[in-house]
Structure 1
Amino acid sequence: MTTAERLTRKDWLDTGLQLLGSEGEKALTIERLCQVTCRTKGSFYHHFKNHGEFINALLEYWQSEYTNRIITTVEQLDNLSDRRRELDRLAAGIDRHIERAIRNWSGVNRRVQLVLKQVDEQRIQYLVGLISEMGQIDEKIALELAIVEYSTFVGLQQLFPNADSHWLEQIFNRFNQMASAYCVALHRKELE
């Protein structure tokens, strides 16, 4: 981007997420954002009333891009197995540095903690729906499997922040195969 190009609100938010992922929440100052974008504070204030509004917008943007957009994309597919594969692919491609930074930030910021809790619950509930559809199983068991699956997703982000997205996708796919086999076995047992 050249200095002659006008930054959009989205450009500021993208820059914020990248800074968060690479330098942590302390880098989310107006000064640092302006330095990275080669823009003045006036340009920042053209889009955001103050720093607090920027942080709120950043958290909403992260939720929108990293959760809502993914769910919407996956839901456009008709076939359950296609939806699962697409979810695995998109989840594996999430910027793990940003996700880790959000989790770290939530430890020191109540607003971030509340947004992260909402996102975690939204993601888990989406998995509950997919798992329920996959195995025609009790919602309690679907919730337990969703929690294990989501914990695997979060754990892999923490343990392997630089992992290849293809490798992560394979791990997610392997979990789905195990969960599917479990659901089939459970369903057979109920029929006996």
Structure 2
Amino acid sequence: MASDGGKRKVPTRGAQLRYLEAGLDVLGRQGHAGLKLATVCEEVDATSGSFYHAFPNWGEYTSALIRYWRETKSDRLIGDAREVADPVERLQFLIDVALSLPHDTEAAIRVWAAHDPDVRAIQIEADEERRQFIADAFFDATGDRELAERQATVAMYMLVGYESGTHRSRDDLAWAFRTFVEHTLSIAVQK
């Protein structure tokens, strides 16, 4: 019988990704209170032993989960938006990004952040990175830094308000963002 020397086998990234995606889905459907080991394992259709092969403990998992959210639902999307050269088209792209975000998951992360300082730090960093990227896009489109900063902050208020609200309409959010961008661009033209 061969011994592995007591070393823990390294899990595959695919196995970890299954649990991370499941965690985001659980957050979206059941909120922060529903994010439990048993629920995540059920979502993946796996045992807790399988979970502990992928992650050494729950704390490592939740740290990886919030980093994964930031990477896939913020950093990567901002990277995609950077590829759009025309600033007005970039603003339109950002509207599409905002509409496609997993809003229930993001709302659950905001609740989680209220109870966990590590999650809060990552959520604040993601919000600020988003806000600054939006401000830069508005500045590129308008040439007015003060207006761009203000509009980016208001755009974030609309997004967070939508995610935290109980009455949601993606059509209304799309209309609000498009109207907001058109208004901002018309102000810049008048100057």
TM-score range, shorter chain: 0.7 to 0.9
Which residue is equivalent to 1:168?
A: 173
TM-score (norm 1): 0.85
* Contact 2:162-2:168 at 8 Å conserved across structures: no
Separation of aligned partners in 1, 2:147 and 2:35: 41
Q: Which secondary structure state, in structure 2, belongs to the residue aligned with residue 89 of structure 1?
A: helix
**1:26-45 paired onto structure 2 within 5 Å:** 26-45=33-52
Give the TM-score of the pair, scaled to structure 2.
0.86
Q: Shift in Å at residue 159 of structure 1?
A: 2.5
Q: Which residue of 2 aligns with 1:3?
A: none
Indicate the RMSD between aligned Cα atoms, in angstroms.
1.8
Cα distance change of structure 1 residues 105 and 170 upon mapping to structure 2, 3 Å threshold: same
Question: Quick one: distance in 2 between partners of 1:60 and 1:150?
Answer: 20
Q: Structure 1 pair 169/160, CA: closer, same or farther in 2 (3 Å)?
A: farther
Shift of 1:183: 2.2
**1:130 lines up with 2:137 in the alignment:** yes
Alignment of 1:108-123 (within 5 A): 108-123=115-130
Deviations 1:114-143 (A, max 9, x none): 111111111111011101111111x33321
Is residue 96–residue 161 contact of structure 1 (8 Å, CA) maintained in 2? Answer: no
Counting aligned pairs with the same residue, the percent is 26
Residue 15 to residue 152, structure 1, CA distance change in 2 (3 Å): same
Classify the secondary structure of the residue corresponding to 1:11.
helix
SS at match of 1:78: coil
Match of 2:150 among 118, 125, 144: 144
Letter in 2 for 1:97: D
CA distance in structure 2 between the partners assigned to 1:70 and 1:36 by the alignment: 26
How is 1:1-192 mapped onto 2 (pairs within 5 angstroms)?
Answer: 8-137=15-144, 139-159=145-165, 162-164=168-170, 166-185=171-190, 188=191
Structure 2 residues without counterparts, runs of 5 or longer: 1-12
Structure 1 residue 162, shift from structure 2 partner:
4.2
User: In the alignment, residue 24 of structure 2 is paired with which amino acid?
Assistant: L
Instruction: Report how far residue 169 of structure 1 moved.
Output: 2.2
Q: Deviations over 1:46-95 (max 9, x none)?
A: 22111111111110111111111211111222222221111111211111
Amino acid at match of 1:8: A
Q: How many residues align?
A: 179
